[in-house]
Amino acid sequence: LLDISWYTESMRAGLPVQILDTHKLQEQRTDEAEVVVFCVPSYACQRRTTLENHNTILTDALSLLAENAELSDQEGRGVAFRRAAAVLKALPRAVTGVTQLRGLPCLGEHSLRVIKDILETGASAEVESTKQSERYKALKVLTGVFGVGPKTAERWIRERIHTLQQLQDSGHTLNRAQQAGLQHYDDLNQPVAKAEADAIAEVVERAVVSVSPGAQVTLTGGFRRGKPTGHDVDFLITHPEEGREDGLMSKVVSWLESQGFLLYQKTTRNSYLESKDGPARPASNMDRFERCFSIFKLHEDEGRGTGHPGTPTGNTAAANTGSLGDSDSRSQIRGGEQRLLVSGEDGGPEETKPAGHRPWRAVRVDLVVSPISQFAFALLGWTGSKLFERELRRWAGHEKSMSLSSHALYDNKQSRYLRATSEQEIFAHLGLEFVPPSERNA
């Protein structure tokens, strides 16, 4: 799977070469080496990608182009940029010249051009102009509203709606999710810290255990991979006795609602049936579990731990006035700007707490319930990263003739499902070395 034709070529031409084989994470040193080249396997799921990224300038640029493509309904381009960024994330040190990249997989012409521009001039004109473009800025602002996807944003932009104020003035009827998204815009666009995720985990555990003793809660998504922040908090819930997870979601949601923890929730029912659905992968592999998309009300004394411990909270709905933007008067909705005003942000001048200081914040929380028989697949599927998951499925299909989803693994050659009770077993079925969550940050 490694393209090393360039290597033999270089050797023949008498060029000194140093290969850094990131797969084995060993640097092979040659003292006379003048050219340091990197060598990685082509599927992200064959690589170990920690959070230590030596090429953030390059990967940020490629990720921005990926995001712009995804927001513009160009999935193929988006994936190409994501794959290129992921290869650079896996390198053991900073790239200093394009010659080092010879032989690396997933670096198409376009990505290489962007990388070359940055290495040679310090910036990519394409990235800079994308960042500054009215279209990109509008797409970011509008899709920053929970419940608004790229298609809706696109439609609004065609109607010259670029900011939240323009959206509000447009008179468009927003659905319940979008209304909540607009109301909690500032909070939901502020990263969630690990301490906040842990505080929410405690509440979710209390909820789950009180409605079903014995049921288990696992923190998944980026936090399971060791990320210090995330855009939401993802939980997977199961019960060790098959079938006992049935009906669990509605009870958990009712408990959370009755205690005033949910500002918004929408639950979708489980619709996966092995016998009926068969091995064919559903259109989206993420949508078949019983799942609850919610906006959680996290109180300061629930362990936010960032500045005001012990502040009396007063768990009332009074703070929530229903005006545009739930944040207090400090925050202003200024669509078109990427960053919103947050108290003391980036160590800036500390602002005085306004009278209406709100002792809670809104956080996106996703709950998923899985039967124990599918738990390992669900855990693997919900841990991410998105690209790692995509690559696992591509590996399964292209290299192993298998279909992997968050529910099951089907072997097309043997025409049977392969069972697994742990992530390790799934990697083994796929003929892959086990990659722990902290190394799935592709």
Report, as residue numbers or ranges, the catalytic residues. Answer: 232, 234, 366
Q: By CB under 6 A, is residue 29 in contact with ligand DCT?
A: no
How far apart are the C-alpha atoms of 414 and 400, rounded to whole Å?
11
Nearer to ligand DCT, 195 or 317 (CB): 195
Per partner kind, with CB cut-offs from 5 to 8 A, the member of ligand DCT, Mg ion, none near residue 389 is ligand DCT
* Closer of 26 and 229 to ligand DCT (Cβ): 229
Residues 6+ apart with CB under 8 A from 320: 183, 263, 326
Interacting stretch for ligand DCT, rule CB under 6 A, among 97-105, 209-217, 382-390, 407-415?
Answer: 382-390
Out of 67, 186, 234, 423, point to the residue binding Mg ion (CB under 5 A).
234
326 binds, among ligand DCT, Mg ion, none (CB under 5 to 8 A by kind): none
73 touches ligand DCT (CB under 6 A)? no
Binding segment for ligand DCT among 103-111, 134-142, 243-251, 384-392 (CB under 6 A)?
Answer: 384-392
Nearer to ligand DCT by C-beta: 59 or 100? 59
Q: Write the secondary structure of the chain as one string of H (helix), E (strand) and C (coil).
A: CCCCHHHHHHHHCCCCEEEEECCCCEECCCCCCCEEEEECCCCHHHCCECCCCCCHHHHHHHHHHHHHHHHCCCHHHHHHHHHHHHHHHCCCCCCCCHHHHCCCCCCCHHHHHHHHHHHHHCCCHHHHHHHHCHHHHHHHHHHCCCCCCHHHHHHHHHCCCCCHHHHHHHCCCCCHHHHHHHHCHHHHCCCEEHHHHHHHHHHHHHHHHHHCCCCEEEECHHHHCCCCEECCEEEEEECCCCCCCCCHHHHHHHHHHHCCCEEEEEEECCCCCHHHHCCCCCCCCCCCCEEEEEEEEEEHHHCCCCCCCCCCCCCCHHHCCCCCCCCCCCCCCCCCCCCCCCCCHHHCCCCCCCCCCCCEEEEEEEEEECCHHHHHHHHHHHHCCHHHHHHHHHHHHHHHCEEECCCCEEECCCCEECCCCCHHHHHHHCCCCCCCHHHECC
User: Which residue lies nearer to ligand DCT by CB, 115 or 249?
Assistant: 249
Q: Does 386 bind ligand DCT (CB under 6 A)?
A: yes
Closer Cβ to ligand DCT, 234 or 290, answer by number: 234
What part of residues 183-222 is at the interface with Mg ion (CB under 5 A)? 221-222
Selected binder of Mg ion within 78, 147, 181, 230 (CB under 5 A): 230
Q: Is 196 in the site for ligand DCT (CB under 6 A)?
A: no
Complex with ligand DCT: residue 196 or 389, whichever CB lies closer: 389
**Does 227 help bind ligand DCT (rule: CB under 6 A)?**
yes
- 385 cis-preceded (ω within 30 degrees of 0): yes
**Which of the ranges 14-22, 30-38, 230-238, 325-333 carries the binding residues for ligand DCT, by CB under 6 A?**
230-238
Window 243-302: residues binding ligand DCT (CB under 6 A): 286
Nearer to ligand DCT, 287 or 337 (CB): 287
When asked if residue 235 is in the footprint of ligand DCT (CB under 6 A), the reply is no
How many residues at the interface with ligand DCT, by CB under 6 A? 13
Q: Does 222 bind ligand DCT (CB under 6 A)?
A: yes
In this chain, which of 187, 290, 389, 391 binds ligand DCT, going by CB under 6 A?
389
Residue of closest CB approach to Mg ion: 221
CB 289, min distance to ligand DCT, A = 11
Contacting positions for ligand DCT (CB under 6 A): 221-222, 227, 230-232, 234, 286, 382, 384-386, 389
Contacting positions for Mg ion (CB under 5 A): 221-222, 230, 232, 234
